[in-house]
Structure 1
Amino acid sequence: MDDLITIKYGLDQQDLAILKDIYQSVGWMKHDESIIEKVFNSSTHKVFVMEDLKIIGFARALSDGVFNAAIYDVVVHKDFQNKGIARIALEDLLNQLKHVSCIQLIATTGNDTFYEKFGFKRLKTGMAIYQNEDLANEYLE
Protein backbone atom coordinates (compact mmCIF):
# COMPACT_ATOMS: atom_id res chain seq x y z
CA MET A 1 0.00 0.00 0.00
CA ASP A 2 1.75 3.13 -1.21
CA ASP A 3 -0.75 5.69 0.06
CA LEU A 4 -0.47 7.39 3.45
CA ILE A 5 -2.40 5.52 6.14
CA THR A 6 -3.34 7.55 9.20
CA ILE A 7 -5.66 7.14 12.17
CA LYS A 8 -8.10 9.54 13.74
CA TYR A 9 -10.40 9.19 16.72
CA GLY A 10 -12.99 11.94 16.33
CA LEU A 11 -16.06 11.90 14.14
CA ASP A 12 -16.96 14.96 12.10
CA GLN A 13 -20.39 15.65 10.62
CA GLN A 14 -19.04 15.31 7.08
CA ASP A 15 -17.77 11.81 7.92
CA LEU A 16 -21.30 10.41 8.25
CA ALA A 17 -21.84 10.05 4.50
CA ILE A 18 -18.45 8.33 4.14
CA LEU A 19 -19.28 5.88 6.95
CA LYS A 20 -22.65 5.16 5.32
CA ASP A 21 -20.85 4.37 2.07
CA ILE A 22 -18.46 2.03 3.88
CA TYR A 23 -21.30 0.20 5.64
CA GLN A 24 -23.25 -0.11 2.39
CA SER A 25 -20.18 -1.35 0.50
CA VAL A 26 -20.27 -4.47 2.70
CA GLY A 27 -24.04 -4.91 2.45
CA TRP A 28 -25.20 -3.20 5.66
CA MET A 29 -27.95 -1.16 4.03
CA LYS A 30 -29.95 -0.15 7.13
CA HIS A 31 -27.26 2.22 8.41
CA ASP A 32 -28.40 5.72 7.52
CA GLU A 33 -26.56 8.85 8.64
CA SER A 34 -28.76 9.44 11.70
CA ILE A 35 -28.22 5.87 12.95
CA ILE A 36 -24.49 6.11 12.26
CA GLU A 37 -24.25 9.35 14.21
CA LYS A 38 -26.15 7.83 17.13
CA VAL A 39 -24.11 4.61 17.36
CA PHE A 40 -20.77 6.40 17.10
CA ASN A 41 -21.73 9.12 19.56
CA SER A 42 -22.81 6.37 21.97
CA SER A 43 -19.58 4.39 21.51
CA THR A 44 -16.90 4.90 24.16
CA HIS A 45 -14.01 3.87 21.90
CA LYS A 46 -13.59 4.35 18.18
CA VAL A 47 -10.88 4.43 15.58
CA PHE A 48 -11.04 5.56 11.96
CA VAL A 49 -8.39 4.35 9.51
CA MET A 50 -7.75 6.80 6.71
CA GLU A 51 -5.98 6.69 3.39
CA ASP A 52 -4.99 10.07 2.01
CA LEU A 53 -7.24 11.75 4.61
CA LYS A 54 -10.37 9.75 3.65
CA ILE A 55 -11.86 7.15 6.01
CA ILE A 56 -11.63 3.64 4.53
CA GLY A 57 -12.30 1.56 7.65
CA PHE A 58 -13.17 1.79 11.31
CA ALA A 59 -13.85 -0.03 14.55
CA ARG A 60 -15.94 0.89 17.58
CA ALA A 61 -16.65 -0.43 21.06
CA LEU A 62 -18.57 0.27 24.25
CA SER A 63 -16.89 -0.14 27.61
CA ASP A 64 -17.19 0.63 31.31
CA GLY A 65 -13.42 1.23 31.25
CA VAL A 66 -12.62 -1.37 33.90
CA PHE A 67 -14.31 -4.75 33.61
CA ASN A 68 -16.05 -5.11 30.25
CA ALA A 69 -15.94 -3.94 26.67
CA ALA A 70 -17.84 -5.06 23.61
CA ILE A 71 -16.60 -4.51 20.08
CA TYR A 72 -19.47 -3.99 17.68
CA ASP A 73 -18.06 -2.99 14.32
CA VAL A 74 -14.83 -3.61 12.49
CA VAL A 75 -15.69 -2.54 8.96
CA VAL A 76 -13.51 -1.83 5.94
CA HIS A 77 -14.78 -0.52 2.62
CA LYS A 78 -14.96 -3.43 0.17
CA ASP A 79 -12.44 -1.72 -2.15
CA PHE A 80 -9.81 -1.72 0.63
CA GLN A 81 -10.30 -5.17 2.13
CA ASN A 82 -7.44 -7.66 2.42
CA LYS A 83 -4.90 -4.84 2.77
CA GLY A 84 -4.44 -4.92 6.55
CA ILE A 85 -6.89 -2.10 7.31
CA ALA A 86 -9.08 -4.18 9.65
CA ARG A 87 -5.94 -5.32 11.46
CA ILE A 88 -4.85 -1.70 11.97
CA ALA A 89 -8.27 -0.72 13.30
CA LEU A 90 -8.64 -3.73 15.59
CA GLU A 91 -5.09 -3.49 16.98
CA ASP A 92 -5.64 0.18 17.80
CA LEU A 93 -9.01 -0.52 19.43
CA LEU A 94 -7.56 -3.40 21.47
CA ASN A 95 -4.75 -1.11 22.59
CA GLN A 96 -7.32 1.45 23.71
CA LEU A 97 -9.01 -1.33 25.71
CA LYS A 98 -5.84 -2.96 27.07
CA HIS A 99 -6.71 -2.26 30.72
CA VAL A 100 -10.22 -3.73 30.47
CA SER A 101 -10.65 -7.18 32.01
CA CYS A 102 -12.91 -8.74 29.36
CA ILE A 103 -13.33 -7.76 25.71
CA GLN A 104 -16.16 -9.40 23.81
CA LEU A 105 -17.29 -9.24 20.21
CA ILE A 106 -19.74 -10.89 17.89
CA ALA A 107 -18.16 -11.62 14.53
CA THR A 108 -20.14 -11.55 11.34
CA THR A 109 -20.56 -14.96 9.78
CA GLY A 110 -17.33 -16.25 8.27
CA ASN A 111 -14.96 -13.88 10.07
CA ASP A 112 -14.25 -15.97 13.18
CA THR A 113 -10.75 -16.98 12.09
CA PHE A 114 -9.73 -13.33 11.60
CA TYR A 115 -10.56 -12.54 15.24
CA GLU A 116 -8.93 -15.72 16.52
CA LYS A 117 -5.61 -14.32 15.24
CA PHE A 118 -5.97 -11.58 17.88
CA GLY A 119 -6.65 -14.01 20.72
CA PHE A 120 -10.45 -14.08 20.70
CA LYS A 121 -11.96 -17.40 21.73
CA ARG A 122 -15.49 -18.76 21.85
CA LEU A 123 -17.45 -18.17 25.05
CA LYS A 124 -18.83 -21.05 27.09
CA THR A 125 -21.62 -18.92 28.52
CA GLY A 126 -22.25 -16.28 25.86
CA MET A 127 -25.90 -15.54 25.19
CA ALA A 128 -27.84 -12.98 23.22
CA ILE A 129 -31.32 -11.85 22.32
CA TYR A 130 -31.80 -10.71 18.73
CA GLN A 131 -35.00 -8.76 18.12
CA ASN A 132 -34.52 -9.20 14.35
CA GLU A 133 -35.59 -12.70 13.28
CA ASP A 134 -33.08 -12.90 10.41
CA LEU A 135 -30.18 -12.04 12.75
CA ALA A 136 -31.48 -14.50 15.35
CA ASN A 137 -31.51 -17.25 12.71
CA GLU A 138 -27.97 -16.39 11.65
CA TYR A 139 -26.30 -16.01 15.05
CA LEU A 140 -28.22 -18.02 17.65
CA GLU A 141 -28.01 -21.77 18.20
Structure 2
Amino acid sequence: MAIRWTQSPDAVDWDALSELYRIAPLGNKSGEWLKTAYSNSMFKRFAFDGDQVVAAGRAVADGVDCSYLCDIVVHPAYQGTGLGKELIQSLVDLSKGHRKIILYAVPGREPFYARFGFRRMNTAMAIFSDPEKAAADGYTQ
Protein backbone atom coordinates (compact mmCIF):
# COMPACT_ATOMS: atom_id res chain seq x y z
CA MET A 1 0.00 0.00 0.00
CA ALA A 2 1.77 3.14 -1.26
CA ILE A 3 -0.31 5.94 0.23
CA ARG A 4 0.29 9.50 -0.97
CA TRP A 5 -0.75 12.33 1.36
CA THR A 6 -1.49 15.86 0.23
CA GLN A 7 -3.06 19.06 1.52
CA SER A 8 -4.00 20.13 -1.99
CA PRO A 9 -7.55 19.48 -3.18
CA ASP A 10 -6.47 19.75 -6.83
CA ALA A 11 -6.57 15.98 -7.54
CA VAL A 12 -9.75 15.29 -5.57
CA ASP A 13 -12.68 13.78 -7.44
CA TRP A 14 -15.41 15.30 -5.26
CA ASP A 15 -18.04 12.79 -6.34
CA ALA A 16 -15.68 9.93 -5.39
CA LEU A 17 -15.11 11.58 -2.02
CA SER A 18 -18.88 11.85 -1.61
CA GLU A 19 -19.15 8.12 -2.24
CA LEU A 20 -16.43 7.48 0.35
CA TYR A 21 -18.47 9.32 2.99
CA ARG A 22 -21.52 7.29 2.01
CA ILE A 23 -19.81 3.89 2.32
CA ALA A 24 -17.80 4.75 5.47
CA PRO A 25 -20.74 5.26 6.51
CA LEU A 26 -20.71 8.94 7.47
CA GLY A 27 -23.80 10.18 5.68
CA ASN A 28 -24.72 11.67 2.36
CA LYS A 29 -22.65 14.70 1.44
CA SER A 30 -22.69 15.78 -2.19
CA GLY A 31 -19.48 16.37 -4.07
CA GLU A 32 -20.35 20.04 -4.42
CA TRP A 33 -21.07 20.32 -0.69
CA LEU A 34 -17.70 18.70 0.14
CA LYS A 35 -15.84 20.92 -2.31
CA THR A 36 -17.30 24.01 -0.63
CA ALA A 37 -16.63 22.72 2.89
CA TYR A 38 -13.02 21.74 2.16
CA SER A 39 -12.37 24.97 0.25
CA ASN A 40 -13.48 26.98 3.27
CA SER A 41 -11.29 25.01 5.70
CA MET A 42 -7.85 26.23 6.78
CA PHE A 43 -6.37 22.72 6.95
CA LYS A 44 -7.15 19.67 4.86
CA ARG A 45 -5.55 16.29 4.27
CA PHE A 46 -6.23 13.70 1.60
CA ALA A 47 -4.77 10.21 1.28
CA PHE A 48 -4.61 8.56 -2.13
CA ASP A 49 -3.87 4.98 -3.11
CA GLY A 50 -3.06 5.50 -6.76
CA ASP A 51 -5.80 7.78 -8.05
CA GLN A 52 -8.37 6.70 -5.43
CA VAL A 53 -8.98 8.90 -2.38
CA VAL A 54 -9.01 6.54 0.62
CA ALA A 55 -8.99 8.98 3.55
CA ALA A 56 -9.68 12.65 4.11
CA GLY A 57 -10.30 15.18 6.83
CA ARG A 58 -10.31 18.90 7.43
CA ALA A 59 -10.03 21.51 10.15
CA VAL A 60 -11.95 24.77 10.25
CA ALA A 61 -9.58 27.12 12.05
CA ASP A 62 -9.09 30.82 12.77
CA GLY A 63 -5.31 30.73 13.16
CA VAL A 64 -5.13 31.55 16.88
CA ASP A 65 -7.98 30.39 19.10
CA CYS A 66 -9.91 27.42 17.74
CA SER A 67 -9.36 24.63 15.26
CA TYR A 68 -12.27 22.25 14.72
CA LEU A 69 -11.47 18.87 13.17
CA CYS A 70 -14.34 17.53 11.11
CA ASP A 71 -15.39 15.25 8.27
CA ILE A 72 -12.77 12.63 9.16
CA VAL A 73 -13.24 9.63 6.86
CA VAL A 74 -11.31 6.45 6.04
CA HIS A 75 -12.37 3.94 3.38
CA PRO A 76 -13.72 0.79 5.08
CA ALA A 77 -11.11 -1.38 3.32
CA TYR A 78 -8.35 0.78 4.84
CA GLN A 79 -9.72 1.07 8.37
CA GLY A 80 -7.42 -0.52 10.91
CA THR A 81 -4.28 0.15 8.81
CA GLY A 82 -3.16 3.29 10.66
CA LEU A 83 -4.51 5.76 8.10
CA GLY A 84 -7.01 7.24 10.56
CA LYS A 85 -4.29 7.67 13.16
CA GLU A 86 -2.00 9.36 10.64
CA LEU A 87 -4.83 11.61 9.44
CA ILE A 88 -5.81 12.78 12.93
CA GLN A 89 -2.20 13.31 13.99
CA SER A 90 -1.46 15.39 10.90
CA LEU A 91 -4.53 17.61 11.46
CA VAL A 92 -3.62 18.01 15.15
CA ASP A 93 -0.06 18.94 14.13
CA LEU A 94 -1.35 21.48 11.59
CA SER A 95 -3.59 22.92 14.31
CA LYS A 96 -0.76 23.40 16.84
CA GLY A 97 -0.67 26.93 18.20
CA HIS A 98 -4.45 27.18 18.55
CA ARG A 99 -5.67 27.52 22.13
CA LYS A 100 -8.05 24.63 21.61
CA ILE A 101 -8.53 21.85 19.09
CA ILE A 102 -12.08 20.50 19.03
CA LEU A 103 -13.87 17.64 17.29
CA TYR A 104 -17.01 15.71 17.76
CA ALA A 105 -16.96 12.01 17.10
CA VAL A 106 -19.37 9.42 15.86
CA PRO A 107 -20.83 7.96 19.08
CA GLY A 108 -18.70 5.05 20.22
CA ARG A 109 -15.49 6.30 18.58
CA GLU A 110 -14.45 8.53 21.50
CA PRO A 111 -11.75 6.08 22.74
CA PHE A 112 -9.95 6.36 19.37
CA TYR A 113 -9.71 10.15 19.69
CA ALA A 114 -8.76 10.01 23.38
CA ARG A 115 -5.41 8.50 22.28
CA PHE A 116 -4.57 11.90 20.75
CA GLY A 117 -5.39 13.81 23.93
CA PHE A 118 -9.01 14.70 23.19
CA ARG A 119 -11.18 14.81 26.29
CA ARG A 120 -14.92 15.07 26.79
CA MET A 121 -16.20 18.60 27.23
CA ASN A 122 -18.80 19.39 29.85
CA THR A 123 -20.21 22.41 28.06
CA ALA A 124 -20.29 21.50 24.37
CA MET A 125 -23.61 22.28 22.73
CA ALA A 126 -24.84 22.35 19.13
CA ILE A 127 -27.73 23.39 16.95
CA PHE A 128 -28.35 20.75 14.26
CA SER A 129 -30.34 21.31 11.09
CA ASP A 130 -32.21 18.05 11.89
CA PRO A 131 -32.37 17.85 15.70
CA GLU A 132 -34.44 14.64 15.71
CA LYS A 133 -31.86 12.83 13.55
CA ALA A 134 -29.00 14.15 15.71
CA ALA A 135 -30.73 12.75 18.79
CA ALA A 136 -31.53 9.43 17.09
CA ASP A 137 -27.90 9.10 15.94
CA GLY A 138 -26.67 9.69 19.50
CA TYR A 139 -25.13 13.15 19.02
CA THR A 140 -27.51 15.00 21.35
CA GLN A 141 -29.73 14.20 24.28
Counterpart residue number, 1:116: 114
Change (3 A) 1:53 1:14: closer
Matching residue within 35, 55, 72 for 1:74: 72
Counterpart residue number, 1:30: 28
Query: Using the alignment, how far apart are the partners of 2:101 and 2:79 within structure 1?
Result: 24
Q: After TM superposition, what 4+ stretches of structure 1 lie above 6 angstroms from structure 2?
A: none
> TM-score, normalization: structure 1?
0.91
Matched, 1:18 2:16: yes
Matching residue within 36, 39, 51 for 2:37: 39
Q: Which runs of 5+ in 2 are unaligned?
A: none
Query: Using the alignment, how far apart are the partners of 1:68 and 1:47 within structure 2?
Result: 18
1:110 CA displacement: 1.3
% identity of equivalent residues: 27
Counting matched residue pairs gives: 139
Report which stretch shifted further, 60-69 or 8-17: 8-17
Counterpart residue number, 1:139: 139
> TM-score, normalization: structure 2?
0.91
What SS does the aligned partner of 2:133 have? helix
Q: Which runs of 5+ in 1 are unaligned?
A: none
What SS does the aligned partner of 2:134 have? helix
Give the RMSD, CA atoms, in angstroms: 1.5
Give per-residue Cα distances to partners, 1:44-94, cap 9 Å, x unaligned: 110011223432101111011101111112100111111111111111111
What SS does the aligned partner of 1:139 have? coil
Letter aligned with residue 96 of structure 2: K
Counterpart residue number, 1:126: 124
Change (3 A) 1:88 1:21: same
Query: Using the alignment, how far apart are the partners of 2:82 and 2:49 within structure 1?
Result: 12
